Amino acid sequence: MPVAIITGASKGLGRALASALARRGWDLVLDARTARVLKETAAEAGAYGTRVVALAGDITDAGHRTELVAAAAELGALDLVVSNASALGAEPLVRLDALPLDGLRAALETNVVAALGLVREALPLLRASAAGTVITVSSDAAAEAYGTWGGYGASKAALDQLAAVLAVEEPGLRVWAVDPGDMGTDLYAAAVPDDTDPRPEPESVVPGFLRLLERRPPSGRYAAPSLLEVTE
């Protein structure tokens, strides 16, 4: 069975992806900071009969990243790393003139440094896989200038660039930066608590991620809703 590591897997997009992959026979290593909620996600995914390892911890901790990759090795392989864990830098989001620099550092550490650290740890196993794949979860704030989204958007833009360079340096892998669009998640609610307009549920964008895995298009940046139009 293929094996995936998913960070930020306790809820939102990470949880939806975990369930969808488990239904398709993937074994999983799941990460999140909140052990209780992660345990619920693991039980949900494990109900489909696949092996699920849930490791609660902080993705910015190098030791925790090593544990995640070691758990995948124990499962026998590593075919996919999904860097989904994200930090906003400020909750709610604020203008750049009010953005705490420590908050920006935290966003960069979680969204960029930790994502690269995990991939570096995982590269030997990914290279050994016939279908080694890295997915970094991006945002339209990485490509567009929205007021108050500057710190978070800058971190996601940096992550996009790392993904693009990784694709050049590792041509044997597929490396996709994926912008899933607005979703009704706790992260979005924390970012813009006054926005009460309904947003799509994370489950609505999962088919696009699955299509990428099925079609395996060239490395690059992909965005909803065009994910469902991906061809080989």
User: Could you tell me the residue ranges of all domains in the chain?
Assistant: 3-229
2 preceded by a cis bond (ω within 30 of 0): no
CA-based R_g, the chain, Å = 16
pLDDT above 90 (res 163): yes
Q: Which of 10, 19, 156, 222 is catalytic?
A: 156
Q: Which of 138, 139, 155, 219 is catalytic?
A: 138
- Give the tens place of pLDDT for each residue, 102-161: 999 999 999 999 999 999 999 999 999 999 999 999 999 999 999 999 999 999 999 999
Q: Which of 78, 100, 82, 79 is nearest to 91 (CA)?
A: 100
Q: What percent of the chain has pLDDT over 90?
A: 89
Rounded to 5 degrees, φ, ψ at 108 are -65, -40
Average pLDDT of the segment spanning 55-84: 98
152 is known as an active-site residue: yes
11 is known as an active-site residue: no
Which band of pLDDT confidence, cut at 50, 70 and 90, is reported for residue 230?
A: confident
Q: Which of 10, 86, 152, 155 is catalytic?
A: 152
Task: Give start and end residues of each alpha helix (H) in the chain.
Answer: 12-23, 35-46, 62-75, 101-108, 114-128, 150-169, 186-191, 206-215
pTM of the model: 0.96
pLDDT of residue 232: 63
39 is known as an active-site residue: no
Distance CA 133, CA 144 (A): 26
Class of domain 3-229: alpha beta
